[in-house]
Structure 1
């Protein structure tokens, strides 16, 4: 499934994108419960399939979401106009429909630095013996099509194409061999970095979590559709020029290893987001440097997931 968070006419909900339609999970689950004769179907649907991906995962709602999507799919095939009027589906390209960051407020955003050997080499950094971790916060997240805002206090804003992992099952001291069982799905993240702030000290966070700086999306592809996250082409294009091109097999620490390692430090919870690092080709390591400018358009593409595209603007 392609899980999306979308807005329409002032409301925000969660759905699955299929063949140009967004099948609305909470509304479809409400109708399914009504058909089954459940009392207070709307209240129970709100509790079991809430219109927020983090809450949906926290309430172990993916199985119910699949039931709701199957119900909406069948209703759409049987009576399209009726399904649309009942709010079971909406055209993805309808006026006023907009995809948002698929996770709105994840409990944790944990990021890896230097997780591709070629990127470590281009930055003259040693290959890490353990995952290099830093964090972001939800204030940084934006969705597909939303502008990356260049803050007026930074003149060195860089792009970083990354595979992001969404946790679906809680765990502490997770065994690496079973770590992928804790993954709900995968999405695309652009770890936009303010290099002049990042390198002011030994900790990177201050250059990594500026407001409205980190594109995420356009959707979450659920884990059963990506059985091997270490076999995905990844690339970044800025204003038509391909600047990063690699494959996730080049990661130093695999997704499974990263999930297991982080779980030694903290309990991973549904909806937590892990960004797995970027390959070589970043702007500040190039000669001449290629840093983001107003008017640029950044496209990050990961095989089997999709493309995340965002324009770049200056802060007013």
Structure 2
């Protein structure tokens, strides 16, 4: 099943779509913060505007180094990923414009699987980690590389500008999706520029959630970006698409 957040006219709704369906069943309540039930409203996918499926009330957590470096042997033990934070003001949804900051024009994309947390979690074991996950969505972790260089490698400014974290198109939930074996593809203007699989990750999804929850408390609506197998330079005027097998496609235009 897929959980979407969308607008029609001036109103914002949550809804549920069955796999491959274009019929959205409206939901009462917020799937992250209250019980939900059908509202009785039915929407068609092509008649609504999809929004970011979640706006984290607390934080977006990013991981670095969770995929093997180029040339690394498959048998090399995985390094512990680095961790950084992005504010919730970086989040945008499908088809929203990516607006480059005036102080950072050397922008890089990173196609990633994002994990959406559904409940408070601290020091969660690997075995219990799946129980705190609502589902998964596509993410594009954008970085202003020139700002990172100017700041001596610090990522705070480079990853925190408004529109630097597109998410969408919806949250995929349910056991039919295997987050540890999903193909990720990145396209620029329809041309494939990179791909990989979450099976290449050094840390599995359960290990990631456990690891991050050992650093700080995870709250409902927090989003974890799990690293990228496909990154590269993004130029103004290009349309960037992140597609994840079993979820869908997230597309945004850089400006």
Same fold (TM over 0.5): yes
Q: 1:151, CA displacement in angstroms?
A: 2.1
Aligned to 1:40: none
Query: Which of 213, 226, 230 is 1:263 aligned to?
Result: 213
Q: 1:152, CA displacement in angstroms?
A: 2.5
Which protein is bigger by CA-based radius of gyration? 1
Query: Which of 11, 14, 20 is 2:22 aligned to?
Result: 20
Deviates more, 1:165-174 or 1:247-256: 165-174
Aligned to 2:252: 310
Contact 2:185 2:192 in 1 (8 A): yes
Q: CA separation in 2, counterparts of 1:159 and 1:223?
A: 28
Q: CA separation in 1, counterparts of 2:71 and 2:99?
A: 27
Q: CA separation in 2, counterparts of 1:99 and 1:197?
A: 31
Aligned to 1:192: 142
Whether 2:32 is the aligned partner of 1:57: answer yes
For residues 163-312 of structure 1, the aligned pairs below 5 Å read 163-199=113-149, 200-226=151-177, 228-279=178-229, 281-283=230-232, 291-312=233-254
Note the residue ranges of structure 1 that are not aligned, 5 or more in a row: 27-48, 51-55, 73-87, 284-290
- As a proportion of its length, which structure holds more helix? 1
Q: CA separation in 2, counterparts of 1:203 and 1:112?
A: 14
Which aligned segments of 4 or more residues in structure 1 are displaced greater than 4 angstroms? none
Q: 1:178 to 1:105 in 2, by over 3 A?
A: closer
Q: 1:131, CA displacement in angstroms?
A: 2.0
Aligned to 1:75: none
SS at match of 2:160: coil
Aligned to 1:161: 111
Contact 1:119 1:278 in 2 (8 A): no
Whether 2:25 is the aligned partner of 1:7: answer no
Note the residue ranges of structure 2 that are not aligned, 5 or more in a row: none
**What's the Cα RMSD here?**
2.0
Deviates more, 1:212-221 or 1:193-202: 193-202
Q: CA separation in 2, counterparts of 1:198 and 1:6?
A: 34
Q: TM-score, normalised by structure 2?
A: 0.91
Aligned residues: 249
Q: CA separation in 1, counterparts of 2:173 and 2:219?
A: 16
Whether 2:60 is the aligned partner of 1:109: answer yes
Q: CA separation in 1, counterparts of 2:203 and 2:246?
A: 21
- As a proportion of its length, which structure holds more strand? 2
